[in-house]
């Protein structure tokens, strides 16, 4: 074989290996400009009786942005060993929780808090996480990737993977109009994930919604109605002898979360410094916020067990046993409503309350099940694209 032919053959072999599946694509300025960028606004679907979904001016949802965010949300490549995605702790069938006491990351290390539901998370405008330490979904989406207990990756490594991925550069171009793959950033990735999370809105087809907002008077039975009356403190106003269960003070509004932080008497504490988990204090630095946590949404609550920030209660019955007894744990900043559940006991001074009877707890649990929204969890638009 002559020398020229040998050099040609060697060159071909080098070219084949250079273009193999593991080769890193060369980053060329403007290499995505031939891909059309035609952003179409995404109209978030919500029930008529829900308020408008808060949308930041800096991140309006588009059809391509939402789909990119959906893919990133379900893609395990965001974790160091490609075994865990955002959806690992936020499963659609569990109303975007994981039904674990606390979540476990890629290294098998357990966290300290229960995974919160993402249902109607777009309306959480007063901080995210149990302690409210971040202000919006864009900021929240950046944290789990680099958390050593969760995905234990680094954003620079993730961005390099996205830049060299066969599909993602084009998807980022369509979503955000970038000119070349070098323009992919963690901020754009977080914006896309936030766009997807903002479409996680109730369908409005739960039994409660049909009864309360659609005029279906047969949607709830008598026991469920009793639970509703106690939940919202409506019984006395219509002459029915049922007590105030004090639920709506923390779980009010259309999404059934007050967007506020409370100490609900879970643990005894001689002073605020005795709480094992400082809760809201972590975000505010205000000592009076120690032991307070964000009230989660009660919609789809029957699907999201176990309950509380540390997952200590396995069932709704256990939750009601805590709230419905007169033996709430003492703490200097426990919310006063924790001690005002049930009928007032005549002759007590200061006034004490009787808690809830077995029937009253049972009616409340039945009502909470009427908040289950199977249309939402089965919506094909929020399932994994893979």
What whole-number distance in Å separates Cα of residue 162 and Cα of residue 57?
A: 26
Residue 293, SS3 per DSSP: strand
Query: How many CB atoms sit inside 10 A of residue 62's CB?
Result: 20
∠87-91-93 over CA atoms, to 5°?
Answer: 155
Kindly state the average pLDDT of the residues 246-252. 95
CB hemisphere CA count around 337 (13 angstroms): 14
CATH class of 207-376: mainly alpha
Radius of gyration of the CA atoms of the chain, in A: 26
Band of the pLDDT at 9, cuts 50, 70, 90?
A: very low
Query: Taking the CB of residue 226, how many other CB atoms lie within 10 A of it?
Result: 21
Interval 283-313: pLDDT, tens: 999 999 999 999 999 999 999 999 999 999 9
Q: For residue range 208-222, list pLDDT tens digits in order.
A: 999 999 999 999 999
| Helix ranges (DSSP H) in the chain | 3-18, 63-74, 137-140, 143-146, 155-163, 168-176, 186-197, 207-213, 222-231, 281-284, 316-323, 358-369, 374-377
Mean pLDDT of 92-98: 98
How far apart (Å, rounded) are the C-alpha atoms in residues 293 and 283? 11
Q: Which of 48, 52, 150, 317 is catalytic?
A: 150
Is the pLDDT higher at 114 or at 6? 114
Dist CA 283 CA 125 (whole Å) = 15
Determine the 3-state secondary structure of 313 from DSSP. Answer: strand
What does DSSP say about strands 261-262 and 293-294: parallel, antiparallel, or unpaired?
A: antiparallel
1 band by pLDDT with thresholds 50, 70 and 90: very low
8 Å CB contact between 127 and 134: yes
Percent of the residues in the chain that have a pLDDT greater than 90, as a whole number: 89
Q: Do the Cβ atoms of 59 and 194 come closer than 8 Å?
A: yes
Lowest mean pLDDT segment, chosen from 24-33, 67-76, 112-121? 24-33
Q: Which helix (H) or strand (E) holds 90?
A: none
- The CATH class given to the 21-202 domain equals mainly alpha
List the domain boundaries for the chain.
Answer: 21-202, 207-376
Helices and strands (H and E) in the chain: how many: 13, 2
150 in active site: yes
pLDDT for residue 165 is more than 80? yes
Q: Which uninterrupted H or E stretch holds 177?
A: none
Average pLDDT rounded to a whole number, residues 275-290:
96
Residue pair 333/271 in contact by the 8 Å Cβ criterion? no
- DSSP helix/strand/coil, 324: coil
Q: Please state whether 385 falls in left (phi above 0), alpha (psi between -120 and 50) or beta.
A: alpha
Q: Quick one: pLDDT at residue 328? A: 65
Write out the two tokens for 241.
Answer: 């002898």
**Per the structure block, which two tokens stand in for 315?**
């069932």
User: Do 101 and 114 contact (CB within 8 A), yes or no?
Assistant: yes
Mean pLDDT in the chain? Answer: 92
Q: How far apart are CA 16 and CA 92, in angstroms?
A: 43
Closest CA relative to residue 343, chosen from 253, 222, 240, 258: 240
Q: Which of 136, 133, 140, 135 is nearest to 283 (CA)?
A: 133
Nearest CA-CA partner of 100 in 87, 109, 113: 113
What pTM was estimated for this model as a whole? 0.91
What is residue 10's predicted lDDT score, i.e. its pLDDT?
Answer: 42
Q: What angle do CA 229, 123, 188 make, to 5 degrees?
A: 160
CB 19 within 8 A of CB 166: no
Residue 124 in this model has a pLDDT that exceeds 80: yes
Rounded to an integer, the average pLDDT of 79-96 is 98
CB 343 within 8 A of CB 133: no
């Amino acid at each position: 074989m002559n020398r020229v032919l040998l050099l040609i053959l060697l060159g071909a072999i080098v070219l084949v290996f250079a273009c193999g599946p593991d080769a890193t694509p060369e980053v060329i300025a403007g290499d995505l400009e031939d891909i059309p960028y035609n952003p179409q606004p995404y109209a978030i679907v919500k029930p008529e009786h829900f308020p408008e979904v808060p949308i930041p001016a800096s991140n309006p949802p588009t059809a391509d942005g939402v789909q990119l965010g959906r893919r990133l949300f379900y893609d395990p490549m965001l974790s160091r060993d490609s075994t865990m995605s955002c959806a690992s702790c936020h499963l659609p069938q569990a109303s975007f929780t994981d039904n674990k006491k606390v979540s476990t990351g890629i290294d098998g290390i357990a966290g300290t808090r229960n995974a919160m539901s993402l249902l109607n998370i777009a309306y959480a405008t007063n901080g995210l996480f149990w302690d409210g330490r971040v202000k919006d979904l864009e900021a929240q989406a950046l944290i789990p990737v680099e958390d050593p207990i969760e995905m234990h990756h680094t954003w620079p490594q993730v961005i390099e993977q996205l830049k060299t991925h066969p599909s993602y550069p084009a998807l980022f171009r369509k979503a955000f109009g970038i000119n070349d793959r070098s323009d992919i950033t963690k901020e754009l990735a977080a914006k896309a994930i936030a766009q997807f999370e903002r479409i996680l809105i109730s369908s409005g087809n739960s039994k409660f919604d049909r009864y309360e907002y659609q005029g279906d008077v047969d949607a709830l039975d008598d026991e469920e109605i009793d639970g509703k009356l106690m939940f919202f403190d409506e019984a006395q106003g219509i002459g029915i002898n049922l007590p105030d269960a004090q639920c709506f003070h923390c779980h009010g509004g259309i999404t059934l979360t007050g967007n506020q932080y409370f100490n609900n008497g879970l643990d005894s504490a001689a002073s605020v410094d005795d709480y094992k988990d400082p809760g809201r204090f972590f975000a505010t630095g205000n000592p009076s916020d120690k032991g307070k946590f964000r009230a989660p949404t009660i919609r789809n609550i029957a699907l999201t067990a176990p309950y509380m920030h540390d997952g200590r209660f396995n069932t709704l019955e256990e939750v009601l046993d805590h709230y419905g007894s007169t033996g709430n744990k003492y703490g200097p900043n426990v919310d006063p409503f924790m001690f005002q559940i049930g009928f007032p006991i005549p002759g007590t001074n200061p006034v004490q309350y009787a808690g809830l009877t077995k029937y009253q707890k049972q009616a409340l649990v039945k009502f909470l099940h009427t908040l289950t929204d199977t249309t939402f969890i089965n919506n094909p638009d929020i399932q994994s694209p893979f």
